[in-house]
Amino acid sequence: MPAQIIENASDADIADWIEHRLTRAVAAGDDIAVAVPGGSTPFPILAELAGRDIDWSRISIWPGDDRIVPEDHSASNVGRIRALLEPVGARIVPLAEHAAPPHFALTWLGMGGDGHIASLFPNTDPQTDDPLRVRRITPDPLPPEAPFDRLSLTIPALINCDALMFVMRGGEKRALFEAALAGEHDLPVARLLKAATAPVTCFT
């Protein structure tokens, strides 16, 4: 799967791109759904988006993964997403093991230095034909900053979308991502990119 790589993008640049895509998707007709990542990188961009002129009442937001903690816990992705986007009208959908994720207008992902996407870490051996759309997962090793079991959308759920978007910072991650695009390894990000049919945009 080829990808468009946009270098040196600021949070505002990325928010501009997302705003354009969401506004166009909403204008096309039906309500839409978007999957967004956790971690530190997306939240300044989400805060930027919260102030944009977007019809959030037409948009459902799903976390791509979450730590299994109460929403008021500092490690909860959905709690932080809710605090930013529910006040502007978005519908926030917490992950649940038997959830049925929709087709996403946009799947936004990050990538770890080990090639994981969402909470699909290498030790979880994610499959492109996974019969489940949400899995409970225990990363190994557990990240010390968030030592919790996770719920994660699986590869089939993540690639069921109109567009895939990555935001990653740093040369090492970019090199790993480009190697995945070239089929040079079999880490989770490479498996996802190999199975994806939607256009891929990567902001660095």
pLDDT of the chain, 204 residues: tens digit per residue: 579 999 999 999 999 999 999 999 999 988 999 999 988 889 999 999 999 999 999 999 999 999 999 999 999 999 999 999 999 999 999 999 999 999 999 999 999 999 999 999 999 999 999 999 999 999 888 888 889 999 999 999 999 999 999 999 888 999 999 999 999 999 999 999 999 999 999 999
Q: Can you give the CATH number for the domain in which 126 is found?
A: 3.40.50.1360
Number of structural domains (the chain) is 1
pTM: 0.95
CA angle, 16 then 21 then 27, to 5°: 125
If we measure between CA atoms, which residue out of 111, 188, 195 comes closest to residue 159?
A: 195
Domain containing 87: what range? 3-203
Q: Is the dihedral of CA 179, 20, 54, 154 positive or negative?
A: negative
Q: What does the alpha-carbon distance between residue 73 and residue 95 come to, in Å, rounded to a whole number?
A: 15
